[in-house]
Structure 1
Amino acid sequence: MKKNTFYIQNLKCGGCANTIITQLSKLNGVSEVVVNNDTDQVSFNAISELEIEQVKQKLTTLGYPIKGETNSIPTKAKSFVSCAVGRMSK
């Protein structure tokens, strides 16, 4: 297992963090997902590069692309939906 940390965009609150933790924890080979709202960081353990790429893709799909990657208006909109879902499922 390899510890990884990404800085992400569009992270707003605990609802966002809840969605990210829930969704990333469902990925095979990914564990110990932690979100830090203060620093916009997502940390996790992954078995290989394949799982790391899956995490990047899942974050983008949820509306939280890695800092430095394209952050379009549709991506920002997805983050608001993910945020709302995270708040409702707490």
Structure 2
Amino acid sequence: METTIHIQNLKCGGCANTISKGISSIEAIQNVLVNVEESTITFSYDKEEQVEEVKNKLKSLGYPEDGEANTLGSKAKSYVSCAIGKMS
């Protein structure tokens, strides 16, 4: 199955790199595609629980799903994730 999630705080290729690495580390998540212009992440998965796991991972990286609270902490995490993504 495949799904697309609209997220917050996605700004650049560094963010996309961090997200791709973080999401790809989840078992059975494949074909991760990050679209910076549309602030979306598309991926393939096997079970519905994995979608929730991806959303939790995104939140922990500072990229909550659209419609969720975008706290100052989330914004700060996304800036750090962005910087790390640019260096790796």
Aligned residues: 88
5+ residue gaps, structure 1: none
Following superposition, the deviation at residue 29 of structure 1 comes to 1.4
Matching residue of 2:48: 49
Following superposition, the deviation at residue 74 of structure 1 comes to 0.4
Following superposition, the deviation at residue 72 of structure 1 comes to 0.3
Matching residue of 1:77: 76
TM-score by length of 2: 0.98
Matching residue of 2:9: 10
Following superposition, the deviation at residue 86 of structure 1 comes to 0.2
For the pair 1:31 / 2:43, whether they are aligned, the reply is no
Matching residue of 1:65: 64
Q: Aligned AA for 1:65?
A: P
What SS is found at the alignment partner of 1:33?
A: strand
Task: Give RMSD over aligned pairs.
Answer: 0.5
5+ residue gaps, structure 2: none
Matching residue of 2:87: 88
